[in-house]
């Protein structure tokens, strides 16, 4: 196993010395990954286990919600047993259980929530519902070189594209977001148009490496708009138009050229908006979170743009860019560190498939008196 990321103590100064050490179980099941993890507030991440349903959904070209729910049911308990065994702890050692309460697929969320609440009831332990995007947002703090607050966060996942100012846990200010498709959605839909498999992000990214950057100049929507919003549906339509121009005669090199045109366009927009957000807020640290944060071209372009302006960029470890249980256990631990009463022995497991991030509040203890 890789060296353990350090615990919360040390990351946030000495205040944690007075806090009671806690072992938090994290449960993620919002879409097509079942993730379980154990985070110890003193020892860091002890273990995590993940099952991706990609192979199962591939033949349908996208996630089938009912199949996703059923698979979460099959996977959750064996993954929990594996996580406990890898961490060498007993279920009774768990102090609190954090689970993804939303947003996501209702049925899939219900599986994770019922596993968490059922376990909480059986073990007499408190549970805490976590916002999936908060998990993504805080995931770079699990890395060996975590950023300090405040920072600008670019959240780029399959369902969301948002720029945020992050001043602390639960202190998120939305600066801009997509008006239509999310960045990951644009990757997936464009990949589909090129006949690539699901999920399309990694596939179109790999193909783009073989493309000629001069072959297609695709539109860069809202690149010069004054605000920090995004729009990607026009880019997807541009991909559709060039694919149609080739009709059935499209060859592998054409596909690679179109993939390159698409990736260059989307990366240009994402990088430009991040630089504008940093400039406007006068902050120097940028954090990238969510599945598209795994994209190699985006990382290279962000690193180059940031280095030129003396900004620092932080990424989650690659394995924690896409959905996972570690980020949920960690977000739970961060909230409990500031508000130990946030986890309760209430097992109603109400999920929130739609849950705007701006409805989140900071932990109570962190509020001004
Ligand atoms: O964060 P995530 O795992 O799930 C959501 O919360 O949505 O993000 C999944 C998205 C998919 O759209 C997938 O195509 C995209 O992240 N993705 C990538 C890469 N890896 C995953 N997009 C571009 N390049 C990648 N390497
Ligand atoms: Zn996600």
Q: Which residues of 99-115 are buried (b: 16+ CB within 10 A; e: fewer)?
A: bbbbbbbebbbbbbbbb
Pairing of strands 171-177, 44-52: unpaired
Ligand 1: residue of 133, 157, 260, 297 to mutate (most ligand atoms within 8 A of CB) is 157
Contacts of 63 (CB under 8 A, 6+ apart): 31, 32, 53, 57, 105
Q: Please indicate, yes or no, whether residues 176 and 297 belong to a single structural domain of this protein.
A: yes
Pick the residue whose CA is nearest to atom 8 on ligand 1.
291
Atom of ligand 1 nearest to the CA of 200: 14
The answer to whether the CB of 200 is under 6 A from ligand 1 is: yes
For residue 317, give both structure tokens.
Answer: 């470890």
Q: Please indicate, yes or no, whether residues 214 and 285 belong to a single structural domain of this protein.
A: yes
Q: How far is the CA of 185 from the centre of ligand 1 (A)?
A: 8
- Please report whether residue 2 resides in a domain: no
Q: Please indicate, yes or no, whether residues 123 and 213 belong to a single structural domain of this protein.
A: no
Q: Please indicate, yes or no, whether residues 93 and 208 belong to a single structural domain of this protein.
A: no
Q: Please indicate, yes or no, whether residues 109 and 14 belong to a single structural domain of this protein.
A: yes
What is the pTM assigned to this prediction?
0.93
The answer to whether the CB of 184 is under 6 A from ligand 1 is: yes
Pick the residue whose CA is nearest to atom 14 on ligand 1.
201
For residue 53, give both structure tokens.
Answer: 């349903």
- The predicted pLDDT at position 368 comes to 58
- The predicted pLDDT at position 15 comes to 39
The answer to whether the CB of 159 is under 6 A from ligand 1 is: yes
- Please report whether residue 92 resides in a domain: yes
Phi-psi region of 104 (alpha: psi -120 to 50; beta: other; left: phi over 0): left
- Picking from 315, 332, 347, the residue at the C-terminal end of a domain is 315
Pick the residue whose CA is nearest to atom 7 on ligand 1.
158
Distance CA 15, CA 33 (A): 35
Distance CA 131, CA 177 (A): 17
Ligand 1: residue of 57, 158, 262 to mutate (most ligand atoms within 8 A of CB) is 158
- Please report whether residue 367 resides in a domain: no
Ligand 1: residue of 53, 62, 108, 184 to mutate (most ligand atoms within 8 A of CB) is 184
- The predicted pLDDT at position 367 comes to 57
Q: Please indicate, yes or no, whether residues 38 and 167 belong to a single structural domain of this protein.
A: no
Closest CA to 11 of 55, 43, 56: 43
Contacts of 42 (CB under 8 A, 6+ apart): 7, 8, 9, 21
Residue 41, φ and ψ in degrees, nearest 5: -65, -15
The answer to whether the CB of 187 is under 6 A from ligand 1 is: yes
Q: How many domains does the chain have?
A: 2
- Please report whether residue 285 resides in a domain: yes
Q: Please indicate, yes or no, whether residues 222 and 131 belong to a single structural domain of this protein.
A: no
The answer to whether the CB of 292 is under 6 A from ligand 1 is: yes
CATH number at residue 238: 3.30.420.40
pLDDT mean for each 10 residues of the chain (369 residues) = 44 49 97 98 97 94 95 98 98 98 98 98 98 97 95 96 97 97 96 92 97 97 94 96 90 97 98 98 97 97 98 96 97 95 94 94 73
The answer to whether the CB of 104 is under 6 A from ligand 1 is: no
The answer to whether the CB of 324 is under 6 A from ligand 1 is: no
- The predicted pLDDT at position 10 comes to 41
Question: Which residue do the tokens 């990382």 mark?
Answer: 299
The answer to whether the CB of 323 is under 6 A from ligand 1 is: yes
For residue 91, give both structure tokens.
Answer: 């279920």
Q: Please indicate, yes or no, whether residues 59 and 203 belong to a single structural domain of this protein.
A: no
- Please report whether residue 346 resides in a domain: yes
Contacts of 202 (CB under 8 A, 6+ apart): 294
Pick the residue whose CA is nearest to atom 23 on ligand 1.
201
Q: How far is the CA of 14 from the centre of ligand 2 (A)?
A: 31
Atom of ligand 1 nearest to the CA of 183: 12
């Amino acid at each position: 196993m890789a060296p353990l990321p350090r615990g919360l103590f040390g990351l946030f100064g000495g205040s944690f010395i007075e806090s009671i050490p806690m072992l938090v179980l994290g449960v993620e099941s919002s879409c097509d990954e079942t993730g379980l993890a154990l985070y110890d507030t003193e020892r860091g991440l002890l273990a995590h286990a993940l099952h991706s349903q990609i192979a199962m959904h591939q033949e349908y070209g996208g996630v089938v919600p009912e199949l996703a729910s059923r698979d979460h049911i099959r996977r959750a308990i064996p993954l929990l047993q594996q996580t406990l065994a890898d961490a060498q702890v007993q279920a009774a050692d768990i102090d609190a259980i954090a689970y993804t309460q939303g947003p996501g697929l209702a049925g899939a969320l219900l599986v994770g929530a019922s596993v968490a609440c059922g376990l909480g009831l059986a073990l007499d332990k408190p549970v805490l519902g976590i916002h999936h995007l908060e998990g993504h947002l805080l995931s770079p703090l699990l890395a060996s070189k975590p950023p300090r607050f405040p920072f600008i966060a670019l959240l780029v996942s399959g369902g969301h594209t948002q720029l945020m100012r992050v001043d602390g846990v639960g202190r998120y200010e939305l600066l801009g977001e997509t008006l239509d498709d999310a960045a990951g959605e644009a990757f997936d839909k464009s990949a589909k148009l090129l006949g690539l498999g699901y999920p399309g992000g990694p596939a179109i990214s790999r193909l783009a490496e073989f493309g000629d950057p001069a072959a297609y100049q695709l539109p860069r929507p809202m690149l010069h708009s004054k605000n920090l919003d995004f729009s990607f549906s026009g880019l997807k339509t541009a991909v559709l138009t060039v694919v149609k121009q080739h009709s059935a005669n499209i060859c592998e090199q054409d596909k690679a050229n179109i993939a390159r045109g698409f990736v260059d366009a989307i990366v240009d927009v994402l990088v430009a908006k991040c630089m504008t957000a940093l400039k406007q807020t006068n902050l120097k640290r940028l954090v990238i979170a969510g599945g598209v944060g795994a994209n190699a071209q985006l990382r290279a372009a962000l690193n180059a743009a940031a280095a030129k302006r003396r900004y620092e960029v932080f990424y989650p470890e690659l394995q924690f860019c896409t959905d996972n249980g570690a980020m949920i256990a960690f977000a739970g631990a961060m909230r409990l560190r500031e508000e130990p009463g946030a986890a309760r022995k209430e097992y109603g497991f109400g999920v929130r498939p739609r849950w705007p991030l701006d409805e989140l509040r900071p932990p109570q203890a962190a509020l001004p008196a």
